[in-house]
Amino acid sequence: MLFFRYLLLPVVLISLLLFSVRFAVADETGNGNKADEHKWFLTFYGGPSAQPDLEHTLLFNMRFEDDTYIAVGALAREFWRYKNWISFEAEGQVGKYFGNEHQWQFSGLMIARWHLFPWQKYLDTSFAVGDGLSFNTETSKIEKEDDENAGKWLNYLMFELTLGLPQYSRWDLVYRIHHRSSIREIIGAGASNFVTFGIKYSF
């Protein structure tokens, strides 16, 4: 059962990708207007710290045991796109911790975003993965619990799902997993995860 559990997410994503590409061959219209007009993205999101790790968070098997939250403002710019299929962005973030922690966080990252879904005409959808560097003004207690050698610098990783109505193409609802880790101690030590929701404005 454990083997099938960990295979479920990649199998679903690959199946959806193949179906979407087949759909695109039949209909290339998609969300062209949004792609042509909107290259900048302003996102505000926030949410609680999630335990125990990224794997459980991605599988929706997380716990919320810490009274620690983060609120983030992010500005991104699209710099390359292939048709209405995939695009790449550069993003900068400023975050603030609340609850048990109160430090600031600054992150910069590159984002790959997939736009092609069969239902795009009815519900504007995108899925993104981003990676970069993140700096906390103070060492996080959560990351210190994960590894006593935790520091201020860590790798930043995010997974994001956006949903919006085509008639309101500037606005999207956002679900983002906000993750910091050492990549097996290549960059710093320790890790933390936040499950967040927010809103994105395109212009």
For residues 174 and 5, which has the higher predicted lDDT (pLDDT)? 174
Kind and range of the H or E element at 195? strand 191-202
Residue 83 to residue 28: CA distance in whole angstroms: 9
- For residue 2 the two structure tokens come to 């454990």
pTM of the complete model: 0.84
Q: Annotate 99-163 with DSSP letters as a single string.
A: ET---EEEEEEEEEEE---TTTTTSEEEEEEEEEEEEESS--HHHHHH-TT--SEEEEEEEEEEE
Query: Are the beta carbons of 188 and 43 closer than 8 angstroms?
Result: no
Is pLDDT of 173 > 70?
yes
Is pLDDT of 10 > 50?
no
Is pLDDT of 13 > 90?
no
Query: Are the beta carbons of 69 and 47 closer than 8 angstroms?
Result: yes
What residue ranges do the domains of the chain occupy? 38-202
Average pLDDT over residues 83-106: 97
Average pLDDT over residues 53-71: 95
Q: Would you give the DSSP letter of residue 51?
A: B
- Name the band, by pLDDT with cuts 50, 70 and 90, for residue 34: low
The helix/strand/coil state of 38 is coil
Is pLDDT of 36 > 70?
no
- Name the band, by pLDDT with cuts 50, 70 and 90, for residue 37: confident
For residues 36 and 148, which has the higher predicted lDDT (pLDDT)? 148
Class for the domain spanning 38-202:
mainly beta
Residue 193 to residue 21: CA distance in whole angstroms: 32
Contacts for 200 with CB less than 8 Å, ≥ 6 apart: 41, 42, 43, 162, 171, 172, 173, 174
Query: Are the beta carbons of 187 and 155 closer than 8 angstroms?
Result: yes
Share of the chain above pLDDT 70, in %: 82
